[in-house]
């Protein structure tokens, strides 16, 4: 952004073009009294206390600095007699009307006014009187995207109200208005489920609410499009699953990315997911007319799509928003998970194109990548439990085993391309270039969802966790952290989908944890329970749950090392076409990392060398991560670890020892 030089009381300040004057003045340490300014809200220029003299092109005039945008070189004078006089009169008027409100007294004193000649019939002696600053009106609108509060009446009759003077049922009681009110005029009188210290929770919650409202437009744009904001990002970093995770990007991605989606989303309002959350990341498409299925022809409201749903569609090669909406709607309606459905169907499509199954086998469906209409028909058959649809509904593991039994393909090939671990389908990220993410997925106790560890950027792009020890620590810390807040029922968005403006004050390794936001969560916990918490205690709490989950996994026969092994597609290129599409990258790795000269070698030879290397690396990471977690080399929690966690109950020890 262009910088403009502004001379303020003789000192020069460089200001970004279009930004408001007040922060620039204050950044020079010059004090300006304000009543209606709030750092997290759009300035309105209502109280007029912040006036200064601005000289531009030879003309001088008084302006309110809080909402004066700097567009050209100007000279500013903040303490002239005219300015002082103006402020003094205003301050005296405010003090006359609200003589006992602390903030008014304080601001008036800054203007040199300690008493007022303007006492009258409208003088309000209440120290918590409403001073008509408008903070609450703007917070309701700008944070919560509601317009519950507003002013009514004119002149001295002006007052704050809800529509028709009644409590509006749309008010979610989020307390944003009370949080920004400088006088305490708005009282919060519900204490929800009796936390020990509601104020502590509110203070930290409101801080993040304000961050989401003010920073998101510059960061993730989730207020506009929700989690689907990253469809385009993933494509550009070669991480968006395309054609059953074979590739990480596709030329048609712009047809389903954030910009395409923005045009179709109809609701930009508070979504009620959490009362008063200013992110409101759940989005909807209203009046969407369904083209297929039992509700064909009806106009419905589609809840979503989220990133995973959109990426499940790119994984099936279906780059068409109308398809995405319809797929999303019917998955929701049938109670089918969009991720498992998308990943399973993508696998079916690859098998179809490879000739493992054909049209007769699939009940007449032409299941090639991008076959939107056939996918929807399949989805309806899955829901009805009909024929081939019933099989697909059972997921990747079932299909792999069935088709291997029927001799339709080499079981090893089906294993390589069938994206499931522990029987659960992969969520929608390509993990090939991130060793830590490969392990994050395949070692997750609940199966390869990314909720336990999402380490792709940290590992692949930032190279922040280069050694096995670094990766092992990340695979120790992040699953425990994410398990912990999940167990508290706390949302993940307020951890890292908005980042405090000053997060960069932390060194990179620490910055990745977003320390200030982690502290918010600890304060939520303390406010609720009365018990202070730190990182060590949090990790200990979470490790108990995480280890119990691992033991349950073991009870279910899925908690051993072999159950933490990914299908090779999650680690590297399975097919020739896949290798060749990124040959430059893979050849370079062969040369630089393994010392294997790719010149003159066949693709098969190169693939084999790469596979051996990558699986070797994978196993080393698993070893290191097991060690960091206190598990043995087979991935079983050790008895010492259980003791350490106070979990050495006979029942649990018996599970460790095994039958």
Partner 1 sequence: MRVEKPPMIVVNNRDKLDWREGMTVQDVLNAMRFDYALIVVSVNGAQVEKDAFATHPVPDGASVQVIHIAHGG
Helix ranges (H only) for 530-602 are 535-555, 576-581, 583-589
Contact predicate 475/564, CB 8 Å:
no
50 binds, among partner 1, ligand FES, ligand SF4, none (CB under 5 to 8 A by kind): ligand FES
Question: Is residue 183 within the footprint of ligand SF4 (CB under 6 A)?
Answer: yes
Work out which of 8, 15, 20, 37 binds ligand FES, going by CB under 6 A: 37
Which C-beta is closer to ligand FES: that of 29 or that of 489?
29
- b/e 169-194 (16+ beta carbons within 10 angstroms → b): eebbebbbbbbbbbbebbeeeeeeee
Chain length of the chain: 659
Which C-beta is closer to ligand SF4: that of 30 or that of 188?
188
SS3 category, 126: coil
Separation of alpha carbons 258 and 39, rounded Å: 29
Separation of alpha carbons 107 and 584, rounded Å: 66
Contact range with partner 1 by CB under 8 A, out of 314-322, 401-409, 448-456, 615-623 = 448-456
Question: Is residue 23 within the footprint of ligand FES (CB under 6 A)?
Answer: no
* Ramachandran quadrant class, 477 (left: phi over 0; alpha: psi -120 to 50; beta: rest): alpha
Write out the binding residues for partner 1, residues 33-52 only, by CB under 8 A.
none
171 binds, among ligand FES, partner 1, ligand SF4, none (CB under 5 to 8 A by kind): ligand SF4
Contact predicate 550/559, CB 8 Å:
yes
Separation of alpha carbons 45 and 300, rounded Å: 43
175 binds, among ligand FES, partner 1, ligand SF4, none (CB under 5 to 8 A by kind): ligand SF4
Separation of alpha carbons 601 and 591, rounded Å: 12
Work out which of 25, 74, 148, 494 binds ligand SF4, going by CB under 6 A: 148
Tokens of 122: 């409208």
At closest approach, how far in Å is the CB of 22 from ligand FES?
7
* Main-chain dihedrals φ then ψ at residue 97, nearest 5 degrees: -80, -40
Contact predicate 143/213, CB 8 Å:
yes
Chain position carrying tokens 């007022």? 116
Work out which of 24, 41, 49, 132 binds ligand SF4, going by CB under 6 A: 132
Which C-beta is closer to ligand FES: that of 43 or that of 393?
43
Helices 468-487 and 535-555 cross at an angle (nearest 10°) of 90
Question: Is residue 66 within the footprint of ligand FES (CB under 6 A)?
Answer: yes
Write out the binding residues for ligand FES, residues 44-63 only, by CB under 6 A.
45-50
Contact range with ligand SF4 by CB under 6 A, out of 19-27, 127-135, 399-407, 554-562 = 127-135
Question: Is residue 176 within the footprint of ligand SF4 (CB under 6 A)?
Answer: yes
Helix ranges (H only) for 488-514 are 493-496, 508-511
Work out which of 21, 35, 132, 465 binds ligand FES, going by CB under 6 A: 35
Work out which of 22, 113, 174, 460 binds ligand SF4, going by CB under 6 A: 174
At closest approach, how far in Å is the CB of 38 from ligand SF4?
9
21 binds, among partner 1, ligand FES, ligand SF4, none (CB under 5 to 8 A by kind): none
Question: Is residue 426 within the footprint of partner 1 (CB under 8 A)?
Answer: no
- Contacts with partner 1, 494-513, as mask; x by CB under 8 A: --xxxx---xx---x--xx-
* Main-chain dihedrals φ then ψ at residue 59, nearest 5 degrees: -105, 140
Q: Which residues partner with 63 through β-bridges?
A: 52
Separation of alpha carbons 375 and 624, rounded Å: 41
140 binds, among ligand SF4, partner 1, ligand FES, none (CB under 5 to 8 A by kind): ligand SF4
Write out the binding residues for partner 1, residues 289-308 only, by CB under 8 A.
307
DSSP code, position 317: T
Question: Is residue 210 within the footprint of ligand SF4 (CB under 6 A)?
Answer: no
Separation of alpha carbons 103 and 107, rounded Å: 6
Question: Is residue 107 within the footprint of ligand FES (CB under 6 A)?
Answer: no
In three state form, how does the secondary structure of 149-188 look? CEEECCHHHCEEECHHHCCCCCCCCCCHHHHHCCCCCCCC
Q: Smallest Cα–Cα separation from 345: which of 422, 428, 254?
A: 428
Kindly state the helix (H) or strand (E) to which residue 64 belongs, with its residue range.
strand 59-64
Chain position carrying tokens 């712009």? 254
Which C-beta is closer to partner 1: that of 86 or that of 482?
482
Question: Is residue 34 within the footprint of ligand FES (CB under 6 A)?
Answer: yes
At closest approach, how far in Å is the CB of 207 from ligand SF4?
15
Strands 74-77, 59-64: pairing kind: unpaired
Strands 51-56, 3-8: pairing kind: unpaired
Closest-CB residue for ligand FES? 66
At closest approach, how far in Å is the CB of 36 from ligand FES?
3
Work out which of 25, 104, 133, 206 binds ligand SF4, going by CB under 6 A: 133
Question: Is residue 549 within the footprint of partner 1 (CB under 8 A)?
Answer: no
Tokens of 549: 């989950």
Work out which of 70, 186, 357, 574 binds ligand SF4, going by CB under 6 A: 186
Kindly state the helix (H) or strand (E) to which residue 608 belongs, with its residue range.
helix 603-629
174 binds, among partner 1, ligand FES, ligand SF4, none (CB under 5 to 8 A by kind): ligand SF4
Contact predicate 268/285, CB 8 Å:
no
Q: What is the dihedral of CA 226, 229, 231, 232, to 10 degrees?
A: 160
Q: Total number of residues binding ligand SF4 (CB under 6 A)? A: 28
Which C-beta is closer to partner 1: that of 153 or that of 508?
508
List contacts with partner 1 (CB under 8 A). Answer: 1, 3, 16, 218-221, 227, 230, 233-234, 236-237, 307, 429, 450, 454-458, 461-464, 466, 496-499, 503-504, 508, 511-512, 514
List contacts with ligand FES (CB under 6 A). Answer: 34-37, 43, 45-50, 64, 66
List contacts with ligand SF4 (CB under 6 A). Answer: 130-136, 139-140, 144, 146, 148-149, 160, 171-177, 180-183, 185-186, 276
């Amino acid at each position: 952004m262009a910088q403009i030089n502004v001379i303020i009381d003789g000192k020069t300040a460089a200001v970004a073009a279009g930004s408001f004057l007040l922060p620039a003045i204050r950044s020079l340490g010059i004090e300006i009294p304000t009543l209606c300014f709030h750092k997290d809200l759009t300035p309105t220029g209502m109280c007029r206390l912040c006036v200064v003299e601005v000289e531009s092109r030879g003309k001088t005039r008084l302006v309110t600095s809080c909402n004066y945008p700097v567009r050209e070189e100007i000279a500013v004078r903040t303490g002239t007699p005219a300015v002082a006089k103006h402020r003094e009169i205003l301050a005296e008027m405010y003090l006359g009307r609200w003589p006992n409100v602390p903030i008014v007294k304080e601001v008036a004193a800054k203007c040199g006014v300690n008493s007022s000649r303007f006492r009258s019939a409208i003088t309000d002696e209440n120290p918590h009187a409403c001073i008509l600053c408008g903070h609450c009106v703007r917070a309701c609108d700008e944070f919560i995207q509601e317009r519950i509060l507003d002013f009514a009446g004119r002149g001295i009759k002006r007052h704050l109200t809800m529509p028709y003077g009644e409590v509006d049922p749309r008010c979610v009681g989020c307390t944003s208005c009370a949080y920004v009110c400088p006088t305490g005029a708005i009282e919060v009188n519900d204490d929800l489920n009796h936390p020990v210290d509601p104020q502590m929770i509110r203070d930290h919650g409101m801080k993040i609410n304000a961050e989401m409202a003010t920073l998101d437009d510059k960061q993730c744009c989730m207020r506009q499009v929700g989690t689907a904001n990253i469809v385009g990002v993933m494509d550009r970093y070669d991480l968006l699953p395309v054609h059953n995770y074979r590739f990480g990007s596709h030329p048609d991605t712009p047809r389903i990315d954030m910009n395409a989606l923005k045009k179709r989303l109809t609701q930009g309002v508070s979504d009620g997911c959490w009362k008063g959350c200013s992110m409101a990341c759940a989005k909807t498409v209203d009046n969407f007319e369904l083209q297929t299925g039992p509700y064909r022809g009806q106009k419905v409201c589609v809840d979503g799509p989220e990133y995973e749903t959109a990426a499940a569609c790119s994984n099936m090669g279906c780059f068409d928003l109308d398809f995405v909406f319809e797929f999303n709607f019917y998955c929701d309606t049938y109670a089918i998970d969009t991720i498992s459905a998308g990943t399973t169907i993508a696998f079916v499509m690859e098998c179809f194109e490879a000739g493992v199954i054909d049209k007769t086998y699939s009940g007449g469906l032409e299941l090639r990548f991008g076959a939107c209409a056939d996918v929807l028909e399949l989805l309806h058959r899955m829901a009805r439990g009909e024929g081939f649809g019933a099989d697909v509904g059972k997921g990747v593991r079932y299909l792999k085993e069935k088709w291997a039994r029927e001799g339709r393909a080499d079981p090893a090939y089906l294993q390589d391309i069938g994206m499931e671990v522990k029987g659960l389908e992969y969520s929608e990220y390509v993990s090939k270039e991130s060793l830590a993410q490969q392990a994050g997925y395949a070692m997750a106790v609940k199966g390869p969802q990314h909720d336990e560890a999402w380490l792709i950027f940290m590992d692949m792009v930032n190279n922040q966790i280069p050694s096995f020890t670094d990766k092992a620590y990340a695979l120790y810390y992040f699953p425990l952290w994410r398990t912990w807040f999940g167990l508290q029922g706390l949302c993940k968005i307020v951890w890292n989908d908005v980042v405090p403006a000053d997060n960069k004050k932390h060194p990179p390794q620490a910055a990745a944890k977003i320390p200030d936001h982690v502290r918010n969560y600890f304060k939520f916990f303390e406010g609720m329970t009365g018990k202070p918490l730190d990182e060590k205690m949090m990790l200990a709490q979470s490790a108990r749950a995480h280890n119990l989950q691992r033991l349950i996994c073991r009870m279910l026969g899925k908690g051993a090392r072999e159950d933490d092994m990914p299908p090779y597609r999650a680690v590297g290129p399975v097919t020739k076409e896949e290798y060749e599409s990124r040959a430059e990258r893979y050849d370079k790795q062969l040369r630089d990392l393994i010392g294997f000269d790719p010149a003159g070698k066949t693709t098969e030879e190169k693939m084999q060398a790469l596979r051996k290397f990558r699986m070797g690396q994978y196993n080393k990471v698993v070893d290191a991560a097991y060690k960091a977690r206190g598990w043995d080399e087979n991935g079983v929690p050790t008895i010492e670890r259980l003791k350490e966690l106070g979990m050495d109950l006979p029942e649990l020890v018996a599970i460790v020892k095994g039958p």
